[in-house]
Structure 1
Amino acid sequence: MANIQYYDVILKPVVTEKSMNAMSEKKYTFLVHPEANKSMIKEAVEKMFEGTEVKTVNTMNLDGKKKRRGYTVGKTAKTKKAIVTLTENSKDIEIFEGL
């Protein structure tokens, strides 16, 4: 396994209608490093966003989609997505407030 630092774990937030509706329940969705595990994701969120306490982390591995250009068939890259649920007395994550 690669040596992954906490700032390399979270790649970017996922901004969809479903993920925005889940924010009312203090659930935030991120694209994460494919080799990151749940404890690494929890540590990264708590270190990167001050005042947050993670309750649970749910992860899912997404396979790449099949793409075709002419006769050439290929696949996009595999990704990993994490849904982080915060505790009731935890602060909200600021990067989602303006969206």
Structure 2
Amino acid sequence: MGRLTTLKPRHNDPRRLVDCIIRPLVTEKATRLLEQNQYTFAVRPQATKPEIKAAIELLFDVKVVAVNTLHPAERSKRVGRFAGQKPHYKKAMVTLAEGSQIVLFPDV
């Protein structure tokens, strides 16, 4: 039998947590989900659900109930005769507790 090793927990360094959130996603579906208190963000592909939850709670000072993630399919991009891929990202849909709210666009 192999030797059992214990995995070290990831450090929850606030600087590292803030870097896992790339930007909020604003689409028709994301706008519809705002009515259900769900916010959609683009995050680093390596980010885990606990890291995303901790980053949202740290950045916006809200209580997160659930985090759902998915990897959208990569889309091809063409510039003249050169074909390539758009940068890959991970999408996170964050459900907030009742009464919590994130103000994404304060002046709108």
Alignment-derived partner of residue 70 in structure 2? 60
Q: Percent identity?
A: 38
Aligned length: 96
TM-superposed CA distance for 1:96, in Å, is 4.4
Look up the SS of the partner of 2:104 in the other structure: helix
Alignment of 1:1-99 (within 5 A): 5-50=16-61, 52-88=62-98, 90-96=99-105, 98-99=107-108
Q: CA RMSD in A?
A: 2.1
| Runs of 4+ with deviation above 4 angstroms | 96-99
Runs (5+) with no aligned partner, structure 2:
1-9
Bigger mean CA deviation after superposition, 32-41 or 57-66: 57-66
* TM-score, length-scaled by structure 1: 0.83
Residues 73 and 46 from structure 1, CA distance in 2 versus in 1: closer, same or farther, beyond 3 angstroms? same
TM-superposed CA distance for 1:64, in Å, is 2.1
> Could you tell me how far apart the structure 1 residues matched to 2:90 and 2:49 are?
11
> Could you tell me how far apart the structure 2 residues matched to 1:83 and 1:41 are?
10
* TM-score, length-scaled by structure 2: 0.77
> Could you tell me how far apart the structure 2 residues matched to 1:78 and 1:39 are?
21
> Could you tell me how far apart the structure 2 residues matched to 1:96 and 1:16 are?
14
Give the letter aligned to residue 48 of structure 2: N
Greater Cα radius of gyration, structure 1 or 2: 2
Give the letter aligned to residue 80 of structure 1: K
TM-superposed CA distance for 1:62, in Å, is 2.1
